[in-house]
Amino acid sequence: MTQTELNLLFKKCYKSNIPQLIHLTESKEAAQEVYQEAFYVFLKKWKQGAIQNQQNLCGYIFRVAKNKWLENKRKSKEISWDSILMPNETLTDDFDQLEVAENVLEQKKRAQLILAAMKELGDNCRKLLMETIVYKVSLKKLQEELGYASYNAVKVAKHQCKKSLIRKYWKLEGEKIE
């Protein structure tokens, strides 16, 4: 790919990706920064020969940019959480730190409620949800392991188990509020 072709690709993908990235990052500057990082990753992979049969290069660059943004977001949250855990550090913005701490506590409470709701499920439902959601086991494999008659039966069972888990979660959530 020549320099001219790369410039054209950069501009073409920029026009299609920046609006989506602005929506995602909620900032034009952050969107531009993430896009540039993604294009740099694309160039490195292209030179290494890792990108060969990619039909939609702009889509590929967008996925890289989105992953970069998520990575940066995770890192920034980790930094905020670390500063809460270290009492000797001076907090730059107490309100932001308090908000992060509240979010972490809320997530912990939610996780505890989900675990409590999971315990209320039957063994088959619990195993089916754990295997598909946590361990990413295919439904086809679970059909054989758990003895379901058909693939559709496993899909229906998973859907029913999810519905049951959600009902149990909200029931527990309601009990905690009262």
Q: Are residues 61 and 21 in the same domain?
A: yes
Residue 74 inside a domain? The answer is yes
Region 54-82: mean pLDDT is 75
Q: How many residues does the chain have?
A: 178
Q: What's the pLDDT score for residue 82?
A: 41
Contact in structure between 154 and 143 (CB atoms under 8 Å):
yes
Residue 95 inside a domain? The answer is no
For residues 141 and 83, which has the higher predicted lDDT (pLDDT)? Answer: 141
Q: Are residues 86 and 1 in the same domain?
A: yes
Residue 100 inside a domain? The answer is no
Count how many domains the chain has.
2
* Residue at a domain's end among 90, 122, 139: 90
Contact in structure between 24 and 45 (CB atoms under 8 Å):
no
Q: What's the pLDDT score for residue 97?
A: 59
13: CB partners within 8 A, 6+ apart: 39, 57, 58, 61, 62
CATH number at residue 149: 1.10.10
Q: Are residues 56 and 4 in the same domain?
A: yes
pTM given for the model: 0.45
Tens of pLDDT, residues 111-159: 888 899 999 999 989 999 989 888 888 999 989 888 899 999 999 999 9
Residue 103 inside a domain? The answer is no
How far apart (Å, rounded) are the C-alpha atoms in residues 153 and 64? 37
Region 28-42: mean pLDDT is 91
Task: Extract long-range pairs of 54-57: CB within 8 Å, 24+ residues apart.
Answer: 57/9, 57/13
**Domain that includes residue 175, residue range:** 110-178
Percent of the chain with pLDDT over 70: 82
